[in-house]
A and B are shown apart, each in its own frame.
Chain A
Amino acid sequence: MTDGRTVHRRLEDIFRIVFNDDAITLTDEMTAADVPGWDSLEHINVMFSIESAFGVQFDAAGLAAFENFGALERYLAEHGR
């Protein structure tokens, strides 16, 4: 499933698909507030898409548990498939 792309690149692709915006680029310091169009609904869509792509299950707090994208990326690098 990893098809050679880095975790960073896979994460970025998910965001681009969910928000239908190829201009989205993610940096380590960014948080949800920096992504245009982010709301509670997109939170669910992004969270679910990440879960299915990386084979992980977040706990009840969902993505809010991560300080920023850097933290999310490190978590996925360690736990994701």
Chain B
Amino acid sequence: MTAPSPRRTPPHAGADAALGDAIESLLATASATEIPPADVCLKLARAFQRAGDRGAACRWATRVVDAGDDFAAWRGAAAVVAACGDAPQARRRARVAVLGSYTTTQYAQLLRLAALRVGVALEVHDAPYGQYRQELLDPASGTRAFAPDLVVLATHEGELALPEMADDPGAAVAAELRRWTSLWDAAGEAGARVVQHTFAIPPETATGHLGAKLPGSRYAMSRALDARLGEAAAAAGPHVALLDCERLAGQFGKERWFDPRYWHLAKQAVALDALPLLARHTAALIAAQLGLSRKCLVLDLDNTLWGGIVGEDGLAGIRLGAGSPEGEAYVAFQEYVLALKRKGVVLAVCSKNNEADALEPFERHPEMRIRREDVAMFVANWETKSDCIRAIARGLDVGLDAIVFVDDNPAERQVVRELLPEVDVVPMPPDPAHYARALSRYLLFETSAFTAEDAARTAQYRARAEIATAEASAGSIEQFYRGLAMRARIAPFDAVDLPRIAQLVGKTNQFNLTTRRHGLPQLEAFARDPSCVHLSLRLRDRFADHGLVGVLIALGAGDSLEIESWLMSCRVIGRTADAAMLAALSRRALARGYRSLRGIYRPTPKSGLVRDLYAGFGFTPAGERDGATTWVYDLAARGPIESPYIELTEVGTETDDDRRQDGASAA
């Protein structure tokens, strides 16, 4: 990290005033449009950079990303970001090594800009082109010394060792597949996650259409390899992400994606004007890997889910469904939204309407695709949209930075952008025929894995919104807890749960005592270590099955069992699930002969919630170091911690397996 450089004193006040005037005039131009044009954003970024305001310079530079995919403007904005050093608006940081089979210098620069747009400050190591294998395998390489959190394998079709025609295509594809997956293994051993580019196939295909039906053609083998890479990445789990370049190249237009002049001149395998698109998608995958995907889509109703205004036009007057192109377009949009919901996005409604009017189409319109039960929280009233979105965030217990807002009305979008800058607002086109595509351009619903929890999420969040309402009238908190009839299942890590565990470890911010972002390989190592106590918690109640929501890792330290990591999904905060986990942990600790539990709290800006957690369970403070506090619970004197409100089912306790013999017993 570089220290902020002191503001340069302007040579004379006249230049300062001129710069100020230029900024004022540019800001006026920018505010005239919903999405200011790229050149205006870039000029503002550069003007603020000259004025010494690095925060504003970075903000305007990242707005170039929203203004389109113009390479020159992106490159200029990337230069501003590079010159400004540490970006103040970043939510997370990551070290990324870009390993290319072609020149990746510009791609790496643009990637930094695109990542900052989605809240990630990247430190990028751009390895020499064509050296990706040595860089990963050689322990003395620059990449290994850089110790990346994540490796981007930017590879192109020309790099494939596939003949134009093979006698044994199966063997050729299998050998090529091993060549790439072995690199993923090497990255995993170096502690890095992987983003692998798939191999976009160039338009020059000598075999023509015949290539598609000849398994031995290079064309068919390249396609087969892409499919096999998908299977291999799925088997490898969430720490390997595929960037589907074949899809992006098709979307961009392959004759533009592949520009042979730039390949011959500078070994650019992807045309420079395709790099902004490629960088945006890469940044979205990196954000997903870091757990920054957005969870909740908040939808307006009138002219967003149907044509017309239900409160004025009436149920029969709104345009929805077969019969008009407009009505069909709204159905297509609803179906796209439902596909997002199936992928794990939670839906909420925020509409300026009388609630009864707003609900009527959901209950009675035969062409509605989205049903009331698809919506986790339904807010229809006459409050401002920003207040309603705040209420939705509270009701669903998600951060504003997990919310994406869709509204046909530009004025409402602008209000939300200004009052709730953490919320992402999708710029919707005027014609509903383009709604689905506009939303599909929004990339932060990208996730690194698909789990059963994702598919069931809306039901869980909906139950939570209902509970939030019930809570207000539940009398005492004890009555509320008992009324929930909560049951927890606590078990050691296993292979089926590890992807979900890794997802939670990667993204949980609030209830997280130590915020150690272990990757899948490290979690697997914990699971194999017989001296490690590793617990996952699943919670269900009368309303919903919350799925796997708690993770705890503890390691022996003398006669004490130390809690290395402990985190729980914010869905179950305030439900005494923490007591359930400590109860299970303390029983297991006693069975292994430990005399005390040690807890550590390493504070982060988001984890203030658990600052006093250990004190609440009777732990006593035992020192502070580098801001982290240590807490001790005397098991021998006080006995195990109780879980008064949650019925526990414990799996893999010392009595039903053979860990007692080889567990680290200190007694």
**A interface list, Cβ under 8 A from B:** 14, 17-20, 22, 40-41, 44-45, 48-49, 52-53, 57-60, 62
Q: B254 an interface residue at 8 Å Cβ cutoff?
A: no
- Name B71's contact: one of A20, A40, A48, A59 (CB within 8 Å): A48
Complex interface: chain B residues within 8 A of A44 (CB): 106, 262, 265-266, 268, 272
Complex interface: chain A residues within 8 A of B266 (CB): 40-41, 44
Does the CB pair B83–A20 fall under 8 Å? yes
Report B422 CB to chain A, min CB distance, Å: 30
Does the CB pair A52–B273 fall under 8 Å? yes
Complex interface: chain A residues within 8 A of B17 (CB): none
Query: Chain A contact residues: over half helix, strand or loop, or mixed?
Result: helix
Q: B622 an interface residue at 8 Å Cβ cutoff?
A: no
Q: Which of B132-180 contact A (CB under 8 A)?
A: none
Q: B242 an interface residue at 8 Å Cβ cutoff?
A: no
Complex interface: chain B residues within 8 A of A49 (CB): 71-72, 75
Does the CB pair B76–A17 fall under 8 Å? yes
Q: B105 an interface residue at 8 Å Cβ cutoff?
A: yes
Complex interface: chain A residues within 8 A of B295 (CB): none
- Name B75's contact: one of A22, A45, A53, A57 (CB within 8 Å): A45
Report B533 CB to chain A, min CB distance, Å: 52
Closest to B264 in A: A60
Q: B59 an interface residue at 8 Å Cβ cutoff?
A: no
**B interface list, Cβ under 8 A from A:** 42, 46, 50, 70-73, 75-76, 79-80, 83, 103, 105-106, 261-262, 264-266, 268, 272-273
A65–B97 CA distance with the chains assembled, in angstroms: 35
- A17-B76, A45-B75 known; A60-B42 Cβ under 8 A: no
Does the CB pair A53–B46 fall under 8 Å? no
Does the CB pair A18–B265 fall under 8 Å? no
Does the CB pair B71–A18 fall under 8 Å? no
19 additional contacts (CB under 8 A) given A45-B106, A45-B272: A14-B72, A17-B72, A17-B73, A17-B75, A17-B79, A18-B72, A19-B79, A20-B46, A20-B76, A22-B50, A41-B105, A44-B262, A44-B266, A44-B268, A48-B272, A48-B273, A52-B70, A52-B72, A59-B261
Complex interface: chain B residues within 8 A of A59 (CB): 261
Complex interface: chain A residues within 8 A of B264 (CB): 60
23 contacts between A and B (CB under 8 A): A14-B72, A17-B42, A17-B73, A17-B75, A17-B79, A18-B76, A20-B46, A20-B79, A40-B266, A41-B103, A41-B105, A41-B106, A41-B266, A44-B265, A44-B266, A44-B272, A45-B106, A48-B272, A49-B71, A52-B71, A52-B273, A59-B261, A60-B265
A18–B268 CA distance with the chains assembled, in angstroms: 18
Closest to B73 in A: A17
The 6 lowest CB-CB distance pairs between A and B, nearest first, are: A20-B79, A17-B76, A49-B72, A48-B272, A44-B266, A41-B105
A45–B272 CA distance with the chains assembled, in angstroms: 8
Complex interface: chain A residues within 8 A of B50 (CB): 22
A59–B272 CA distance with the chains assembled, in angstroms: 16
Report B344 CB to chain A, min CB distance, Å: 39
Complex interface: chain B residues within 8 A of A22 (CB): 46, 50
A59–B265 CA distance with the chains assembled, in angstroms: 10
Complex interface: chain A residues within 8 A of B106 (CB): 41, 44-45
Report B5 CB to chain A, min CB distance, Å: 16
A62–B264 CA distance with the chains assembled, in angstroms: 11
Report A34 CB to chain B, min CB distance, Å: 20
Complex interface: chain A residues within 8 A of B73 (CB): 17
- A20-B46, A20-B80, A49-B75 known; A62-B273 Cβ under 8 A: no
A45–B71 CA distance with the chains assembled, in angstroms: 9
Complex interface: chain A residues within 8 A of B105 (CB): 41
Does the CB pair B262–A48 fall under 8 Å? yes
Complex interface: chain A residues within 8 A of B79 (CB): 17-20
- Name A57's contact: one of B72, B76, B261 (CB within 8 Å): B261
Closest to A41 in B: B105
